[in-house]
Amino acid sequence: MWVYDDARAALRDALRLSRAMTYKAAVADLPLGGGKGVIMATPAGGWPSDRRHAALLDFADTVAALDGRYITAEDVGTSSRDMSVIAQRTRHVAGLSRRRGGSGDPSAFTALGVEAAIQACCERAFGSDSLRGRTLAVIGLGHVGSRVATRCARAGARLLLSDVDQGKRRFAEDLRARWTAPERALESAVDVLVPCALGGFLDDRTVRRLQCRVIAGAANNQLADDRIADLLAARGIVWAPDFVVNAGGLINIAQELDGYDAARARRRVTGIADTLRHIFDDAESMDTTPLTAAMELARKRLVAR
Ligand code: NAD
Among protein residues, the one whose CA lies closest to atom 23 of ligand 1: 76
225 and 151 both lie in a single domain: yes
63 and 205 both lie in a single domain: no
Three-state secondary structure call for residue 57: helix
Q: What is the pTM of this model?
A: 0.92
Structural domain contains residue 57: yes
Residue among 196, 104, 183 nearest 148 (CA): 196
Tens-digit pLDDT profile for residues 235-279:
999 999 999 999 999 999 998 888 888 899 999 999 999 999 999
231 and 123 both lie in a single domain: yes
Name the strand (E) or helix (H) holding 136.
strand 135-139
116 and 172 both lie in a single domain: yes
Question: What pLDDT, on the 0 to 100 scale, is given for residue 23?
Answer: 96
Question: What pLDDT, on the 0 to 100 scale, is given for residue 48?
Answer: 77
Residue among 298, 276, 272, 295 nearest 121 (CA): 276
Question: What pLDDT, on the 0 to 100 scale, is given for residue 42?
Answer: 73
Indicate the pLDDT class of residue 15, thresholds 50, 70 and 90.
Answer: very high
Mean pLDDT, rounded, for 32-55: 84
The minimum-distance atom of ligand 1 relative to the CA of 109 is 40
Question: What pLDDT, on the 0 to 100 scale, is given for residue 45?
Answer: 57
Residue among 126, 149, 117 nearest 237 (CA): 126
Residue 192 CA, chain-centre distance (Å), reads 16
The angle, 0 to 180 degrees and rounded to 10, between the axes of the packed helices 290-304 and 272-285 is 110
Judged against a pLDDT cut of 80, whether residue 63 lies above it is answered with yes
CB 123 within 8 A of CB 146: no
92 and 27 both lie in a single domain: yes
132 and 205 both lie in a single domain: yes
Neighbours of 172 (CB within 10 A): 21
162 phi and psi angles, rounded to 5 deg: -155, 145
Mean pLDDT, rounded, for 92-109: 87
Ligand 1 mutation target, pool 184, 246, 250, most atoms within 8 A of CB? 246
Mean pLDDT of all residues belonging to the chain:
94
The angle, 0 to 180 degrees and rounded to 10, between the axes of the packed helices 143-154 and 107-126 is 50
126 and 195 both lie in a single domain: yes
112 and 151 both lie in a single domain: yes
Among protein residues, the one whose CA lies closest to atom 14 of ligand 1: 197
Question: What pLDDT, on the 0 to 100 scale, is given for residue 46?
Answer: 65
What CATH number corresponds to the domain at position 30?
3.40.50.10860
**Is 172 touching ligand 1 by the criterion CB < 6 Å?**
no
94 and 127 both lie in a single domain: no
Distances in Å between the alpha carbon of 203 and those of 27, 79, 207, 220, 221? 24, 30, 6, 14, 12
Tens-digit pLDDT profile for residues 85-98:
999 999 999 888 88
Domain tally for the chain?
2
CB 85 within 8 A of CB 72: no
Judged against a pLDDT cut of 90, whether residue 49 lies above it is answered with no
Question: Domain residues for 177?
Answer: 107-247+276-298
172 and 114 both lie in a single domain: yes
**Beta bridge partner(s), residue 202:** 223
Question: What pLDDT, on the 0 to 100 scale, is given for residue 98?
Answer: 81
**Is 142 touching ligand 1 by the criterion CB < 6 Å?**
yes
Structural domain contains residue 259: no
Structural domain contains residue 198: yes
Tens-digit pLDDT profile for residues 131-189:
999 999 999 999 999 999 999 999 999 999 999 999 999 999 999 999 999 999 999 99
75 and 145 both lie in a single domain: no
Structural domain contains residue 202: yes
**Is 221 touching ligand 1 by the criterion CB < 6 Å?**
no
Does residue 300 have an active-site annotation?
no
Instruction: Label residues 286-296 b or e (16+ Cβ within 10 Å = b).
Output: eebbbbbbbbe
Indicate the pLDDT class of residue 43, thresholds 50, 70 and 90.
Answer: low
CB 235 within 8 A of CB 207: yes
CB 224 within 8 A of CB 202: yes
- Please identify, among 66, 100, 134, the residue that sits at the C-terminal boundary of a domain: 100
What CATH number corresponds to the domain at position 150?
3.40.50.720
β-pairing, 158-162 vs 178-179, is parallel
Structural domain contains residue 50: yes
| Active-site choice (24, 36, 168, 300) | 36
Structural domain contains residue 180: yes
Among protein residues, the one whose CA lies closest to atom 5 of ligand 1: 142
Structural domain contains residue 243: yes
Distance between terminal CA atoms of the chain?
32
Ligand 1 mean position, distance from CA 77 (Å): 9
290 and 150 both lie in a single domain: yes
Phi-psi region of 257 (alpha: psi -120 to 50; beta: other; left: phi over 0): alpha
Indicate the pLDDT class of residue 229, thresholds 50, 70 and 90.
Answer: very high
Structural domain contains residue 257: no
Q: Which residue type does 148 have?
A: V
- Please identify, among 100, 125, 145, the residue that sits at the C-terminal boundary of a domain: 100
- Please identify, among 54, 80, 100, the residue that sits at the C-terminal boundary of a domain: 100
**Residues 230, 120: Cα–Cα separation, whole Å:** 20
